[in-house]
Amino acid sequence: MTDTRETTHRRDQGHNYKGLSIHAAPGVHEHAADLLGRYVQPGSKLLEVGAGSGALASRLTDAGFDVVATDLEPNQSWIHPLDLDRPHDSQAAAGTFAAVVCVETIEHLENPRAALRSMRTKLDRGGFLLLSTPNVDHPHSRLRMLLTGEPMLFGRDLYYSTGHITPLPEWLLVEHLKASGFAVSVVESAGDIGFGSKLRRAAHQVEMAFLRIVGARNHATRGDGLCLFVVASAV
């Protein structure tokens, strides 16, 4: 039977930055800004792909970066249209940048390796790509995969409600990056699962304690490690 539901590509997570809805989990945008600051000088020109509402672009602008925000379907007048299948068609994204920022976007794409090749064209040699995606290697995700056959933040319902269509474990993302003209500099994980009720938070703590006992340790850099972060340089 054919499922006639439409895929939604962004879902409001209930928090915001300066009134702009954040579609990522708590802590993800904060870690992206901190991580970018380690590799790129303030004042540098950045290209953000998959800008969504513009919350991260606004945060990075406040941190002193010169941000060109783009999206396939912009919902703000200051966010420019950019189709990664035809990156050279965008006047706003003309030329090259000190860094490309792609946070919580690549899991929405049908062909992530082609998208990475397009991002590479926006960087001179030595320029940086900052990318994040749901961490399907997280211990909670592995347990969920064992019990349900679906990794964390992916599955039949989430395919439609979030537009998460391409799970990328760390090894595969790294190989895609290397095949697309990048050298990986750092891999980290950050972001909070953010269970709402006290009962759900308590259940999650019990689950994580059990996973630690059986040896499935969570090596998060920050928070729960919900999302995988990679910084790679153009070669």
Whichever domain contains 226, its CATH number is: 3.40.50.150
Task: Determine the Cα–Cα distance for residues 172 and 155; give it in Å rounded to an integer.
Answer: 19
Does residue 6 lie in a domain region?
no
Closest CA to 170 of 214, 227, 124, 119: 227
- In-domain check, residue 8: no
Over residues 183-198, the mean pLDDT reads 87
Residue 205 included in any domain: yes
| Alpha-carbon span 119 to 71, nearest angstrom | 13
Three-state secondary structure call for residue 45:
strand
Q: Residue 36 and residue 42: Cα distance in Å, rounded?
A: 9
Q: What global pTM score does this model have?
A: 0.90
DSSP state of 8: P
Query: Is 3 domain-assigned?
Result: no
From CA 36, how far away is CA 101, in angstroms rounded?
9
Q: Is the pLDDT of residue 28 over 80?
A: yes
* Bridge partners, residue 46, by sequence: 67, 99
List residues bridging with 69 in a β-sheet: 48
Would residue 9 count as lying in a domain?
A: no
112 falls within a domain: yes
Any domain includes 5: no
Whole-number Å distance between alpha carbons of 3 and 22? 28
Range of the domain at 168: 15-234
CA within 13 Å, CB half, 35: 31
Q: Is the pLDDT of residue 207 over 50?
A: yes
- Short-list 49, 47, 69, CA closest to 58: 69
User: What would the pLDDT profile of 99-119 be if each residue is shown by its tens digit?
Assistant: 999 999 999 999 999 999 999
pLDDT at res. 209: 77
Which alpha helices (H) appear in the chain, and where do they start and end?
28-39, 55-62, 112-120, 139-148, 156-161, 170-179, 198-213
Number of domains composing the chain: 1
Give per-residue pLDDT as tens, 74-96.
Answer: 999 999 999 998 888 888 899 99
Per the domain annotation, does 163 fall within a domain? Answer: yes
104 forms bridges with which residues in the sheet? none
Q: What is the mean pLDDT of the chain?
A: 91
